Structure 1
Amino acid sequence: MQKPLVSVIITTYNRNNYLKKALESVLNQSYKNLDIIVVDDGSFGDENQNLCSKYSFVNYIKIENSGGPCKPRNEGIKISKGAYIAFLDDDDIWEYNKIEILLDVLESNPSFGLAHHYCKLIDENDKDLEKYVGRPGKLEDKHGNISMKMIGNYTVSDYPLCRTEIIKKVGFFNEKMIAAGEDVEYWNRASFFTKFYYVDLPLTKYRIHFSNNSEINRQEYLKLNIFNKYFLTEYKNRGIISETEFHIYIQKLVHNQIKMFKTNFLKSLIILNKLDSFWFMKWKSIKLFIFILIKR
């Protein structure tokens, strides 16, 4: 039986030294039936092209700079050929058996459309920081039908493996968002179309460095709940969720936004009013609001 083709979409911008390590982590995967696509978001010079040209089976494309990862990912999706799709940013690294493990899970569990895991943190020099991100306190919080748990929360660690048929249902990444919560919003959407299979292993090394932890990203992340409301409204209009479910999800977004007052009070308050102009008339919201104010 022929092994399924897996498309790997690597997005990059002006980080040739990191791209080489990310690309090698894909090339060295124990699972070999890969469709590797590198999408360059308008990097200066031709270093990335020269690097990718060394590998005949790597498809390199360069687009005009878009300022974020959404458009490069979407361009990769458009030309992908695999039955499964995985994404990787140029500054992160996969463990050698990541695709093999996640693919085995999905092939053995056809009712699940996505498999994900948690990540190990490394610094700019590849040093293991002995810290992890994305591992839940309770496994059930990240496994199964988890759309209610995901809304307004960071639930899927970076770089899950997803069936292409699910990607087609979800659509493209939201190009109106910059690199601040765009992946959270996307996998939030995906949770309405399939169950998620959580694998309790650190299968990606997530790099911590200055350029992926900027103040602008932290501020823009505050807008995530507005984008979540957009797609929830669309799903309600399309009949994917009911009117009652819609209001339950919005209430979750409201509570999540109240918690963000610690980051930026005024901006959070403006966004909160856009989510629900009558939030202050709901007792649970008021109690949470008072609690957060006291904690500030």
Structure 2
Amino acid sequence: MSQEPKRMFMDQEKNLYLPKVSVLISACNRPHMLKQALESVLAQTYPNIEIIIGDNSTDNGVEALVEPYLRDYDHIKYVRNVETGRNSFDLGNTLTLFSMATGEFVNFLHDYDFFHREKIEKMVHYFLRLPNVKLVTSYRQVVDDDGNELPPVVSTSKLLYKDSLINGKELGKHMLSQFTNSIGGCTTVLFKKSDLQEGWARYGGFHHVVLSDVATWMSLLSQGDAVYIAEPLSYVRIHLEDRMNTADLELGRVAEWASILLSSFENQFIEMAEYQGYLKQWNERWNSRMHELIASENHSFILQGVRKKCLRLLEDIPQIYSL
């Protein structure tokens, strides 16, 4: 990295008409991967970007890596969030980053993922062309620890084979029918900050922890359309997320899908017949976990608002089988 004195990243005249994009990087104990993530943002062809790094590590490795970048690039900000917790599903670090973003558009980036160099430019292009678009996503390429490409897993399979404008409700219903985040995680999606009227990870009036991205996408899709770009514009290490999966997180995932499903019915995103069909699928898929959901009052990954939604949904299950 250049050791020149701190320089302005943006030429003011060049960026006068380009909306600012905030890239928010949540970092935790992986400085070797964070370097690749950060460099992929610095290499973007889109010029008007701010970078904010939120660090909730247990050591000083991330801070040491970031320090020389802070000297050389004045569009990079760094905040240490040790008080928000130290797990990759921590909501506090994410909410801190979101509150600090000053860009019109926001794209999160996990420290273990990285961007294609044209990602932001191509995604902003669709927002500027299509006024009713609320999120832009793309195919995401799975990679290993060394960045080598791997075959897709079920959740990262290609949604479409050409760039497409998709009705927001239809895409949301597709996710509900599969109980799968086919849109992509935080790294993959660009959205307008002002469109998140409830805030990050909120849907139906409640925060979600394990499915914070799904809750956010459903909130956006309830307001308008989505664009899917068929080429890979983000590179993700899915297996790292798999290593984090525990019985607790699985239970949280089950409860939050229930909350999202019920909220989608309550806010008229889906009709009664659709709700009943999705509810049957949810019940048949996770019936064996119901007793744990009912007894999960002190469960660390299930917030009380989500638990109440889940219990409401459980009350509806006997009724759909009596129809």
Structure 1: which 5+ residue stretches go unaligned?
287-296
Q: TM-score, normalised by structure 1?
A: 0.80
Indicate which of 129, 136, 139 corresponds to 2:159.
136
Which residue number in structure 2 is paired with residue 156 of structure 1?
183
CA distance change for structure 1 residues 170 and 155 in 2, over 3 Å: closer, same or farther?
farther
Residue of structure 2 in register with 1:118 after alignment: 139
Deviation at 1:134, TM superposition (A): 4.3
Counterpart residue type for residue 143 of structure 1:
I
Pairing partner for 1:75 from 72, 96, 100 = 96
- Provide the C-alpha distance between the structure 1 equivalents of 2:318 and 2:42, rounded to a whole number of angstroms: 53
Deviation at 1:125, TM superposition (A): 1.8
Name the CA distance, whole Å, in 2 between partners of 1:17 and 1:215.
22
Distance in 1, matches of 2:147 and 2:134, equals: 32
- Partner amino acid, structure 2, of 1:160: V
Give the Å deviation of 1:84. 0.6
CA root-mean-square deviation = 3.0
Contact 1:226 1:274 survives alignment (8 Å): no
Instruction: Find the counterpart in structure 2 of residue 188 from structure 1.
Output: 218
Match of 1:260 in 2: 285
How many angstroms apart in 2 are the aligned matches of 1:198 and 1:212? 25
In structure 2, how many angstroms separate the alpha carbons of the residues matched to 1:122 and 1:140?
22
CA displacement, residues 268-291 of structure 1 (integer Å, 9 cap, x when unaligned): 4765875142424435x99xxxxx
Matched pairs, number: 272
Letter in 2 for 1:98: K
Shift in Å at residue 190 of structure 1?
1.9
Deviations 1:35-90 (A, max 9, x none): 1111112x122221222222232111111243324222211111111111111111
Do residues 48 (structure 1) and 77 (structure 2) align? Answer: no
Asked if 1 retains the 8 angstrom alpha-carbon contact of 2:84 and 2:90, the reply is: no
Q: Which runs of 5 or more structure 2 residues have no equivalent in the other structure? A: 1-15, 294-309
Query: Structure 2: which amino acid aligns with 1:258?
Result: N
| Structure 1 equivalent of residue 297 of structure 2 | none
Amino acid in the other structure paired with 2:222 = F
Between the two proteins, what is the percent identity of the paired residues?
A: 20
**With structure 2 as the length reference, what TM-score do the two structures score?**
0.74
Aligned residue type for 1:45: D
For the residue of structure 2 that corresponds to 1:130, the secondary structure is coil
- What SS class does the counterpart of residue 213 from structure 1 fall into? helix
Question: Which residue is equivalent to 1:3?
Answer: 18
Is residue 61 from structure 1 mapped to residue 112 from structure 2 by the alignment? no
